[in-house]
Structure formats: C-alpha cells, structure tokens
Structure 1
Amino acid sequence: MTKTTIVGYPRIGVNRELKFTTEAYFKNEIDAKELSAKAKELRQEYWNKQREARIDIIPSNDFSYYDNLLDTAFLLNIIPERYKKLRLSPLGTYFAMARGYQKGDKDVKALPMKKWFNTNYHYIVPEIEKDTEFSINDTKPFDLYREAKALGIDTKPVIIGIFTFLKLAHLNTDKTFEKCLEELSQVYIEVLDKFEAEGISYLQIDEPILVTDLSESDINLFKDVYNKILAKNYKFKTILQTYFGDVRDIYPHLKDLKFDAVGLDLAEGKKNIELIEKYGFPKDKVIIAGIVNGKNIWINNYKKSIDIIKKLKKYVDEDRLYIGTSCSLLHVPHTIAKEDKISKDYIESLAFAEQKLVEVNDLRELSKDDKYVENNKYTENTNILERKNSNSICFNKDIRSKVENLKDEDFVRAEDFDERRKTQKEYFNFPILPTTTIGSFPQTKEIKKLRQSLRKGEISENQYEDEIKEKIKDIIKFQEEIDLDVLVHGEYERTDMVEYFGRLLHGFLFTQNGWVQSYGTRAVKPPIVYGDIKRENPMTVKWIKYAQDQTDRPVKGMLTGPITILNWSFPREDLELKQIAYQIGLAIGEEVLDLEAAGIKIIQIDEAALREKLPLRKEDWREEYLDWAIPAFRLTNSKVKIDTQIHTHMCYSEFSDIIKEIDDMDADVISIEAARSDSSLLDFLHENNFKLEIGPGVYDIHSPRVPTEEEIEELIKTMIGKLDIKKLWINPDCGLKTRGMKETKPSLINMVKATKKVRSYTPGV
C-alpha cells in the first residue's frame, strides 16, 4: 500500500514560540530547563499534527534550537578547541558556536554562516581542526526518537549524511577530504548501531549534495563510503533523501547503493522523471516521490501530480511508491489558519505546512484509481486553480507592455565605470577608507511598540511619522558624532527590507503570521507575488530626503533590488521569473530616479540574495538565471547621472564563482560579508582585478559580541594588503536591524576609530 511521509517540518512555532523562548534564554530570563520544556511542547505539537493528518512515516530530529548542520557537528564532536576552552555547559558551547561568546576575558567569534543550497535559510559551517577527534558527543537524535515513541509515534530519525556534511564543512586541517570521510564513517556506523538498538523502523539520511555537480571521484567516494556504512544490513529501512534539484550524476548508480528507499524532488528536480523514464528505477528500492512542493506556498495542482504518480507506477508497484514533500517544510510558514485578513479569493489558493500535510494524504487517496475525477477534493482543487488564474490582479496590460518593449539601452548606464569613478571622486571628495553602514539600525522595542500602536489605532499616522522623524534625527546626529563619512536614515519606518517594498507595490500579498526561519532565531515573513508588479507612488523619498535635510554629509537612499525582492518572496508559478524580475526592476528604477531628483546622490540597491537562487548546476547558471538576473539589477539604475553613486550589498554567499557577473552589475560600490570568513575571498578579488569599489564587512553583525578597535584595525590592514586602498570602503558586514543599540554603538565607534588609526599611518594618505 502507498505510504506517506514528509522530509521535515517547521520548528520556529506558529507564533514564533521557539524564537522568543530561545531569545529569553539568551537574555537569562529563563533557564535551560524552561527552554527544553518549551521545545518539547512544540515538538509534540508538530508530531501530533502529522499524526492527525495521517502521515504514515513522521520525521524526528528535524527539530533544532538553531541549525541542523550545527546539531550534526555537535553530535559528531566536531567542536573547535576555542569553544571547548570556554568551559561552558554543552548548551552554552553549542550557542557559542552559533552566536559567538563575549564575557570577561573570554571572547570568541561565531562559526561562519552560509546559505543552505538555493534557499534563504542559513546554516552554520562546521569546522574540522587538525586535532578534531570524531566521536558521538550528543544523544539528541536518540532522545527525540524515544520522546516521540512515548507518544505512540514510531518516527523516522533524520540525520544529515556524511557526504553533504563534509562537503559543506570547513576543513581547517591537513587531513584530506578522503581521510576525513574514512574516519568519520566509523562514527556514522556507531550512530546507526545506536539507532538499531533503539528499534527504529526507518532512518532518513539527507544527502542534498547529490543534486549538485558531482565528479566521477565524488560518485565513487559516495558509493564506497555508504557501502561501508550500510554493510551490516540493518533491520531498519534506510532512506537516501535528496532535495532542491535532480540527481542526474548519481542516478545510474542508485542500483549499486544499499539504501532501501530514495527520496527524489519532483518539484524542482524536473529531470528526475526523465531519469526514471530513461533508466527505470531499482526494483529493490522504494521511491519517495517529492510531489508536494516544500518551498512554495501555492496549493498543489492535483491533476499534474496525479499524472506524475501515474508515470511512476509504470516503474514501481504501489507498495514501493510513497508520496511525500519535495524538501523539508521548514521553508514555508506553519499554517493558513492564522490568516483571517487575506480575502478568500486569495487564501484559498495558498497551502502552508499544515495544509501540505493534507495534500500529501489527498494525493495518496486520489491516486488509488481513475475515479479521482469524481472526488470532491479533486473538483474543488481544479476550481480553485481556475479562479486563481482568472483573477484580474494577475494581468496588467500596461506593465506587460513595458517589459516587452525594453531595449538594450535600458540596461546600460551612459558612462563607463572609470569615467563615473573619476567624476564621483571629485564630487564627493571622501577620505581614504570612507566609512558607512549597510543601512538599517536596531529595531528596538520602542520602534516595534510604536508600529504596533499605529496598527491598533492608538496613535494617528501623523503622530507615528513625527516619532519616526525624531528617530531619524537622533541616528543622524549619532552618526555625525562618531564621524561616519556616509550616513543612513536607519530604516525605522521599515519592518523588513522586502516586505516594506512589497507593501507599497501593486501585485503582492502579505500574511499576518507567515513566518519562516532564516537562521537561528531570525524569522522573516516573505511576501507573496500574486500578480503583476507596479509602483503607484514614491516609496522612500520623503524619509530619505528628510534625513538628508538634517545633515551636510551624504545620506544613502536605501532600496532593495529586484532579484532580492523576488528571491525573498514566494513567487507566482504562472509567469517566468525573468518577467517578474523585470517588472520589479522597472518599479525600483522609477524610485531611483525620484530619489535622484530629490537630491540624493548615493543610492544603495541591495541585492543580498543574488547568489542564493543560482541554479545548483553550473550548466544551468546563465540561461536559467544570470542572463536575466544581472540585467534586472542594471535596469534599476541605468538612467542615473554620472555623479550619482550606486551602491549594492550582498549577504552571506560564496562570490568567487560569479565574480565576473558581479562586476557586470556595473554598480559603483559593493559591500559584502567578510567578517566571518577567512581572507580567501580577498585574495580572489585581488587575483581577478575586481573592478568595483568594495566594502568587505569588518565585523559580524549576526553575533552580539562587540569587536575591539584592535581586531578591526588588523582586519583593515589585511584588506589593504590585498586590495587597492583607493577602492576600499569600511563598513559592518550587514544591516544592524537585529542587533541592540547596546552593542551597535560601541562596535561602530571602534570601527571608525580603527579606520582613522589606519589612515594616520598609511603611506600616501
């Protein structure tokens, strides 16, 4: 009989309970026992929801206080010595690795963060040192299995596979990847032995690295290590789970692997069906068909899904076909049940995590025979999709025409970079190593309360704006006092860098409680691109102009770029991403020209998310993404004057493989993350003669620790040794929204002091 399962479930809480509880623990408002109790309560809630939805194989150990890759490192005793020396509790050590630690004479930075494949989720990068001794260090996966078992739920524990783990880890050791693989495989065997002793029925081993480009050596190593790990023929069934794409490189070798089941993404991994049709499917394995999209929020198209199931049934019998999600539901909000302010005309076409559980079970029931067309669930699904596609918001003739009539010159600035740079140097006359911030300042409790008062009608719009103006005045004054060169207005009027613009653009929907985990306790509410995008009024001009009126120093206009707005939203599925990006690009371009007309001479258009939607296989990069993503950014600023300086910003990413494309964005200045990474990025920029002026972040804003003046000075000196000092800017690595003023002020003061000190003794300055 066909069974159902999911890859994983959201953990942050319907009302962000885990976020608030964990943050209370960080503030010493509750102890570890209270944190553990709330976490247990949430886990049991999630397991019961899945049981109620009649999911047959329910995951455990998909829960984490911060990040699953960090959990895995902790499980395997991959804890760098500097964290052990802190002599904290196990939980304290865990959070020190995630967030850094600063108390008394103990001062340790957090481990780096990177984007999890092509998502907006950030993972903690494990670090394997020369003296790291692999061993089982934690009991969490086994404890959570027993916890669910006590509820009468026989779960499938989920662990990150050895190959993906090591490919994503930083090997700060003389040991080769192959040697680490060999040594770590012994610990994985011990982990599986412990699961065997627990009496589990299924074990899910996540290996999403298989959807990326694999060499022949990679494939052979993968086969060898798993044939070794699974040599004992365990009593439980092992699931090789993949997601975020297709497994074209390793698919012909699946028959040689000892896994009992293979989970395939049939939403993003469109070639997986072609692979099954070409090679068939191993007759000794179960296929877990990831048909329900775990990364988007639209209802499943039951007709299309049943057609896929029919194709699969040609290659596997019913007992070897399980229905599941394409990836973990971590990437969508919990439930639409909390969304009572979205019209039924829109809400009926949305499915969050809870609703996707129902869809998984519906597809199992509907695909039993050909009578599904008579089923009310199928009929209603078809009707909802028809109503959505005919909604007037989805088609705007004027916007479609503008996109269709774009010309080559609409994507190119009139003057080249060198000509602009010379003019801008004379116009602004900045000192060497100009200082600035990325844009936002802390969203304090006071700001959040003010916004809440406006929503509740406790204050008027005018009162709200007056308060925001006072905040802007104060932050401008602070920036002048510490002597920053280029100021920002603080973004106090904004909740989120994407949500803010989406609310002012026609074509977006917004949830009340559609929170999705970005990293750790950080959650975002992605907008939903429902229709064609149009700018109806200026969005930022009055705030930026007000800030500029308070000072003689330049204030940056702060905008979010089209690719980041698109990538950090849930996109519609009935229009090409290129068309959506160009629609947003036109809207942001109109705002840029209005800012310029208002006298704003530096405009930052953030593309924090440019790289994260880069296809996971290089052969798809240009045609499927870069050939329209880079032009979409250029569309925003192609018409500005020569002395208007365009900045952009990018968050945690690996840039080396798209450095030419970043140059091709043709901005004037780019700021990037470098504070948590080593100097390899700086080396690469130097070796490739990077064209743009650049501000590598000099301290990590995702950690509460305050960097010392000395460490920033040393980092600036390192940067000067690798990059042209005349092109170098000094700034934090990201916006300061999630920090408190308590750490923000001393951090920025130290940054400016360190910069001035370097200026004082740098030859030629």
Structure 2
Amino acid sequence: MLKHNLGYPRIGIKRELKKACEDYWNNLITSKSLFNIGKQIRINNWKTQENCGLDLIPCNDFSFYDHVLDMSFLLGNISELYYTQFKEDIDIYFAMARGFQKNKFDFKAMEMTKWFNTNYHYIVPEFEKNQKFGIYSMKIFNEIDEYKKIIKNAIPKPVLIGPLTYLYLGKEKNTNFNKLDLIDNLLPVYIEIIQRLIKKNIKWIQLDEPILVFDSLNDQIIEALKYVYKTINKICSNNAINIILTSYFDSIEENNLYIFKNFSSTFNLHIDLVENNSNLTKILDFFKEEKMGLSLGIINGKNIWKNNYTHSIKIIEKAILKLGKERIIIAPSCSLLHIPIDLEFEDSIPINIINKMAFAKQKLYELNDLEKILNGQKEILLNNFKYFEKKEKEKYIFKQIKKENITRTNAFQIRQTKQQKKFRLPLFPTTTIGSFPQTKEIRTLRKKLKNHEISQHQYEELIQQYIIDAIKKQEKINLDVLVHGEFERNDMVEFFSDKLQGFVSTKNGWVQSYGSRCVKPPVIYEDVKRVDDMTVKWISFAQSQTKKLIKGILTGPVTILKWSFVRDDQPYYDTAYQIAWAIREEVKSLENSGIKIIQIDEPALREGLPLKKKNWKFYFDWAIKAFKLSSSIVKDETQIHTHICYSEVNDILKYISDLDADVITIETSRSKMELLNAFSNFAYQNEIGPGVYDIHSPRIPGVKEILNLINKASKKLPIKNLWINPDCGLKTRTWNEVMNSLKNMTTATKIAREQHASS
C-alpha cells in the first residue's frame, strides 16, 4: 500500500514566497534571486515530505502565483500581446496575473475567480476559436531534474491539471464556439508532455480532474473524458507508467465512474472520502470488476483537525477486503494547499485545542500512522482514540429563529423610497468597499501594541489620526459615502474572531488566497457568542469627523464561517446561526449609535456553494437565513449593503435576490461588466454597485476606461439603482494607487452624471 500527497503549500514556512514576489515586483531583487528563493522552498517541501515517509511526492505543484496560470504557460496559452513587451517569461507571467502599467504600456490583468468551493483564486484561462497549443514552459521538466538531484528515497510524481478541467475552468473570448471543441488541439500536447516525462524515466503522473465530482456534466464532457483518458491510458499502460487521476472536494459521481470501465492496472482513481463517502460501497463494487488502483482520500486536506484513525482504518480495511492491499493507495483528500504548513510553529494555542489539530506536515505523518496501525501497531490507534472520546460539555441553548427575525419590516421598494428621501444622494453614488491601505507603518503600530511597546491609549490616538486622514482624503476627491478605513483590523475575519467567544487565532497559520496574498483563518472550536461591541467605537468616531455618511463595515456569518477552520462536532449551519446572532447584535448596536448605512460582507457566499447542484437548495436555505438573521433587525431607513466576490452568478441570482440587501456590490471589472448580463436578464430589483476597477492589480485605470464601464452598466440596469465603487477592498494597494484610481473614479462619475442628467 503506497502513500502519496496531492500537493503541498508553496508559500514557505515564513511566507518567503510572498516577500520574494513583492520584492521582485518592487524591483528590490532580481529574477535570479526570486528563482533561487522558489527553488529553496521546493527543496524544503520535498525534503519535508520525504521525511514524513511518503512513497510518492508531488512535483510541479509549486507556483510563483497560480498553478492554473502555470498550466496556461506550459500549454503556450499566452496572448501574443505580451511577447513583444517583456524580455523575461516571468514578467509575461506576472503581467497576465496582475496587469502591468508603465509609460505607454498598459496591460489589464486576466480574470480571476475562486477555485471550486475554496478561498483560493485562480487566473481564468482564455480560449479563441481553433486555438493551437504547444509546450512553451519547461518548468515541469526542470523541476523533475531538480527533484532527482535532491530526493533519493521517494518517487517523483509530476502534477498536471487534467485537460477537461483546464478547458472547463476557462472562458471563450468570443461566443461563436464551444471551448470543449478544443480538446482535439489540446490532447496531443498532453500526450507530448507525458512522452517527455517518460523519457525522463517518470513512473507516476498525477492528473487532476475535480470536475468528476459534478452531477451536472453534459454528454459532450462525458464523451470527451472517455476519449481523452482511453487515449492516455493506452499510452501509459504500454510504457508501464502509472496515472493517478484525482477528483476532490466531493464524492465522485457514480455515473462518472463508468468513464473508466476496462482501464488498465496502471490507472488509479483518487476519490475524496472526507467531503462525502456515502457512495464508497458502490465505488468498491465497481472497482471489484476492474483492474484499476484506488487512491483513498482519507485525511482532510481542507481543515486542521486530527484524523480519526478508528474511522479511517475501517474505511481502508473495507477497501482492502474488497480489492486487496496492493491496489490501495492512501492520501489526503485534496492538495494541502488549503491549510497551514506546520503546527510546530504554534506556541500560543491552548493545549486542549492544539492537541486536536494537525497542519499539512502533521497530516502526512498521519498517513504513516495509518500504515503502521494496519501493520499491527495498535497502540497508535489507542493514543489517537482519546482525542475523539465523547465528553460531556455544556449544552448550547440554540435560539429559535422566528420569521420576524429574518424579515425586514417592509419590501425593498418602500425602503428605497425612505432611504432616498433621508440620504439625498446624487445619481451614481460613489463609495468604496471598506478597507484602505494597510501600510507598513500600520502593521508596525499593531505589532508594537501586541509587544507592549506602546500603550493602548497611544495606539488608539494614532488609529484616530489614520481615520481622520482617510476621511479627509475621501472628502477631497468627493466620495459620497465614506468608510473609516479599517486601520484597526488585521483581517476581515480574524478581527471579528478575536472579539467573539469560541474562536482561537494562530500565529503562523498562513494560507495562500491568491498570488502573494495570504490569509490566516481563525479556528472555531466551541460555541460562538458576542461579548461586547466590536466595531461601534471606531465607526462612530469616524462619523463624528464628517457630515457625510459613514458606512459601517462588518463581515457576514457565511464568510466568517467559510474563512475559518470550523469545528466538526456539530452541523455547519448551527455554527453559522451562532455567528449570525452575534453579527445581528453588532448591527443593532451600530444602528443605535447613529450609523445609517451598514455593509455586511459576504464574499464567500458563492464559494460555499456545493459542487453538486442537488445540494444547492439546502445550502442556500441556511446561508440566506444566516445572512438575513444578521441583517433584518434594522429599521427601513437603515440601508444594508453586502459585497460578493468573484461570483459566477448566472445560476444563483434568485438566491442573491433572496438576501434582500438594499445594495449589493460585486466584482465586474476584470470581466468588463459581462457579469451584469445576468442581473439584467433576471431583472434584479435592488440597488447594485458593479466594481469599475480591479483592485487586485497595481495598474491605475483611466477616467475614460471607468466611464466606459459606467456607461456599460447604465445600459444593463436602471441608473437610479447604480452605485459606483471599486471591485473590492483596498488594503493591499498603495495610497498612490488608491488615490489616483479613486480620483479617476469620481471624475468619471461626475461626467456620467452630466451625461445622464436628463434621464
């Protein structure tokens, strides 16, 4: 029985990759230095996995920005526009991811969206009709050579995104063709890659096809999967190459299993048994009649709790009994990209909590433990069992959610009339999503407070000055609805988790969100309760400094839930409701303090959507209920905003409408307002702020560019319902980028108002 891993975190123990990339972007280091740092991270990752006892170690899972973008580079899916402007491939690569603006050169970043139901963002591949592919990047082959010089006791297993998932995740640049028609152009390149790997004496290859868990694949995709993998299986079996085809984030659909009927013994299918193992018996029955190997995703790759060895051993033994030990491989459920690297760097988490946790490195040791238990070392099983003994705990009294708790007093149309009369905002009111730059000075200030180098009073005086300065900046460029800037907040989830009972924060539990952007999800380990006001003090102070409206910013219950590592001893939705009650109390406190506009951010709403459509209704039932529980306590005159990130919303607009937020802000600039087609076709009734510039890129959009997007939006939605704002919060940008971009935004808005004055 072999042990393997699907992928390892690539940011480095001390976020070396983040710092190196940002230094390179700021011209502080050379590309050679950047590559050396990347190489050292890869070597450390491989050695760690070798020391953890893996038999197969993933290669090509490292990336300087995004593994989907890496795949586009490997396949030569790069716009010709970039070739003539950059001397080095790494600069083309980063320009595609982030955009580039210097002198006469102005390249927009490619579209970015969420990787299935995670908080990881990928760069969306773009396809043209009759597009040709070819091997462009040598990264995968160079890393194999690098690996073989370093690692001697484990087999390298190069990782590639499968061709159907790659096409599925991408978008057509124009609408007169189907991207799946490109499979005949794409497959020969995959075959050439495999043949080159064979020449390098590679014996195992991992191909990721997570779309296999969908219950909505059409006949064209099914037939394409059959065609592609029968072709690949034949080539690999003829050359004694083992393929591990991976699915993850849910159970593989039973009907999709039959794609792989009569495949060779060198073909292995990986299934996620953490998210859903309900069809394990049917899968084993199918494999009983086949020759293939089965990879069991038995360790949770998306959460940080210890593995229950008793539960896992039962599953492994059931599979061995049915198929024999030689056909079974064990692994984490998915890539460990989605969890922190090493628990050994945590020294502040209470012992009773940390003893129940496992980060990426510890999860690989858990695979070793499972193998040892199967080989007779039962004491390991007994030691693990104590963490899962049921212990009596104080019973949480769940508050009954009544209809009046999740319903605004009046319908939107009535509320809108009252709010417009009260606020008297101009056409196309301008605002931002909430945060302003988290500069080095602010981070240092927070660190000094934490280290007791300054007093709480000194800290608060300085935060007040930052808020006053931010308000003056916003007033100077004539924004209509201001924000306080969130200078006191380390992160939009961690800030609230630090103030709510039931959470614990890590010191070094960093996880990559996109590129150099890392987040540190808190851990929910017990019942969640609000102890006191969390935001009222600072938002009220901001409102006292201006006659303009200040928008209070809160993080919503679904996002706090999704962007935390959540306890697994009660239903997900129960924890969501506990958070919602806490946010509800904060909303009421803000309203009582005179704050008239409150934004409850839910960027993770779409991210939390189950991959199987049959489970959507249940998810939205509790997710919408949680949001409305947090937001419906206010008067008609109090305006509720929400913000949703990177959402493919076509299929879920009814549910977004059911949130009943007075104003929704969404990210639309990278897609050039294409997202608004769905809102227009649906005839969305409430107010909406389509983002008019991309905050994830350092480039500064011009007035003409923003005006063009405003006019596009004006043709799709009623202008009386349109707000003007950036795509997302501005904490990752510099003040120079922020102020120039916002100034251009308000200038473009002024022109748009003049153009539409008679509308």
Which TM-score band applies after superposition, normalised by the shorter structure? over 0.9
1:468 matches 2:463? yes
Residue 315 of structure 1 and its aligned partner are, at CA, apart by 2.1
SS at match of 1:739: coil
Provide the residue aligned with 1:321 in structure 2: 328
Contact 1:323 1:360 in 2 (8 A): yes
So what's the TM-score if we normalise by structure 1?
A: 0.96
1:252 matches 2:258? yes
1:239 matches 2:244? yes
Provide the residue aligned with 1:432 in structure 2: 427
SS at match of 2:56: coil
- d(CA) in 2 for partners of 1:504 and 1:592? 15
Q: Give the 5 Å matches for 1:670-749.
A: 670-749=664-743
Contact 1:4 1:324 in 2 (8 A): yes
Q: Structure 1 residues 176, 67: CA separation in 2 closer, same or farther (over 3 Å shift)? A: same
Provide the residue aligned with 2:623 in structure 1: 629
Match of 1:401 among 398, 401, 404: 398
SS at match of 1:155: strand
Q: Which amino acid counterpart does residue 382 of structure 1 have in structure 2? A: F
Match of 1:617 among 612, 618, 621: 612
Provide the residue aligned with 1:346 in structure 2: 353
Q: Which amino acid counterpart does residue 532 of structure 1 have in structure 2? A: D
- d(CA) in 2 for partners of 1:252 and 1:227? 12
Q: Give the 5 Å matches for 1:146-165.
A: 146-153=145-152, 154-165=155-166
Residue 127 of structure 1 and its aligned partner are, at CA, apart by 1.1
CA offset digits 1:65-84 (Å, max 9, x no partner) = 00000000000000023323
1:363 matches 2:366? no
1:84 matches 2:100? no
Mean Cα displacement is larger for which, 607-616 or 405-414? 405-414
Provide the residue aligned with 1:167 in structure 2: 168
SS at match of 2:159: strand
Residue 178 of structure 1 and its aligned partner are, at CA, apart by 3.8
1:47 matches 2:52? no
- d(CA) in 2 for partners of 1:516 and 1:199? 33
- d(CA) in 2 for partners of 1:288 and 1:314? 15
**Mind listing any 5+ residue stretches in structure 1 that lack a counterpart?**
none
Q: Which amino acid counterpart does residue 545 of structure 2 have in structure 1? A: Q
- d(CA) in 2 for partners of 1:645 and 1:317? 62
Residue 763 of structure 1 and its aligned partner are, at CA, apart by 4.3
CA offset digits 1:329-368 (Å, max 9, x no partner) = 0000001101011121111100000100100111112123
- d(CA) in 2 for partners of 1:731 and 1:741? 16
Match of 2:559 among 559, 564, 573: 564
CA offset digits 1:285-314 (Å, max 9, x no partner) = 111110001000000000000111121113
Residue 226 of structure 1 and its aligned partner are, at CA, apart by 2.0
Contact 1:264 1:272 in 2 (8 A): no
SS at match of 1:649: strand
Provide the residue aligned with 2:602 in structure 1: 607
CA offset digits 1:366-398 (Å, max 9, x no partner) = 123xx55xx332122111223xx5385xx453x
- d(CA) in 2 for partners of 1:391 and 1:194? 58
- d(CA) in 2 for partners of 1:434 and 1:312? 60
- d(CA) in 2 for partners of 1:152 and 1:727? 60
- d(CA) in 1 for partners of 2:220 and 2:616? 23
Contact 2:96 2:109 in 1 (8 A): yes
Q: Structure 1 residues 131, 467: CA separation in 2 closer, same or farther (over 3 Å shift)? A: farther
1:532 matches 2:527? yes
SS at match of 1:183: helix
Residue 283 of structure 1 and its aligned partner are, at CA, apart by 3.4
Provide the residue aligned with 2:207 in structure 1: 205
- d(CA) in 1 for partners of 2:420 and 2:388? 55
Provide the residue aligned with 1:752 in structure 2: 746
Contact 2:356 2:387 in 1 (8 A): yes
Q: Structure 1 residues 705, 268: CA separation in 2 closer, same or farther (over 3 Å shift)? A: same
Q: Structure 1 residues 111, 281: CA separation in 2 closer, same or farther (over 3 Å shift)? A: farther
Contact 1:396 1:532 in 2 (8 A): no
Contact 2:297 2:333 in 1 (8 A): yes
- d(CA) in 2 for partners of 1:722 and 1:690? 10
1:449 matches 2:436? no
Match of 2:382 among 362, 366, 379: 379
Residue 272 of structure 1 and its aligned partner are, at CA, apart by 4.0
- d(CA) in 2 for partners of 1:413 and 1:234? 65
Contact 1:439 1:490 in 2 (8 A): yes
- d(CA) in 2 for partners of 1:575 and 1:84? 53
Contact 1:182 1:225 in 2 (8 A): no
Provide the residue aligned with 2:57 in structure 1: 58
Residue 683 of structure 1 and its aligned partner are, at CA, apart by 1.5
Provide the residue aligned with 1:103 in structure 2: 102
SS at match of 2:2: coil
Contact 1:254 1:282 in 2 (8 A): no
Residue 278 of structure 1 and its aligned partner are, at CA, apart by 4.7
Provide the residue aligned with 1:180 in structure 2: 182
Q: Structure 1 residues 169, 401: CA separation in 2 closer, same or farther (over 3 Å shift)? A: closer
Q: Give the 5 Å matches for 1:577-616.
A: 577-616=572-611
Contact 1:263 1:288 in 2 (8 A): yes
Match of 1:217 among 216, 220, 224: 220
Residue 246 of structure 1 and its aligned partner are, at CA, apart by 1.4
Contact 2:481 2:551 in 1 (8 A): yes
**Mind listing any 5+ residue stretches in structure 2 that lack a counterpart?**
none
- d(CA) in 2 for partners of 1:178 and 1:645? 44
- d(CA) in 1 for partners of 2:151 and 2:451? 44
CA offset digits 1:478-502 (Å, max 9, x no partner) = 1011000000000000010000001
Residue 637 of structure 1 and its aligned partner are, at CA, apart by 1.8
SS at match of 1:430: coil
- d(CA) in 2 for partners of 1:545 and 1:47? 51
Residue 130 of structure 1 and its aligned partner are, at CA, apart by 4.2
SS at match of 2:528: strand
Provide the residue aligned with 1:287 in structure 2: 294
Q: Structure 1 residues 455, 377: CA separation in 2 closer, same or farther (over 3 Å shift)? A: same
- d(CA) in 2 for partners of 1:458 and 1:71? 44
- d(CA) in 2 for partners of 1:241 and 1:401? 40
Contact 1:454 1:460 in 2 (8 A): yes
- d(CA) in 2 for partners of 1:251 and 1:225? 15
Contact 1:266 1:272 in 2 (8 A): no
Contact 1:223 1:256 in 2 (8 A): no
Contact 2:668 2:674 in 1 (8 A): no
Contact 2:296 2:331 in 1 (8 A): yes
1:502 matches 2:502? no
Q: Which amino acid counterpart does residue 591 of structure 1 have in structure 2? A: E
CA offset digits 1:234-254 (Å, max 9, x no partner) = 332111111111111311332
Q: Which amino acid counterpart does residue 401 of structure 1 have in structure 2? A: F
- d(CA) in 2 for partners of 1:380 and 1:752? 62
- d(CA) in 2 for partners of 1:459 and 1:680? 49
CA offset digits 1:670-711 (Å, max 9, x no partner) = 000001114332111111110210000000000000000110
- d(CA) in 1 for partners of 2:398 and 2:227? 56
- d(CA) in 2 for partners of 1:696 and 1:281? 53
Q: Which runs of 4+ in 1 moved over 6 A?
A: none
Residue 171 of structure 1 and its aligned partner are, at CA, apart by 1.9
Pairwise CA RMSD: 1.4
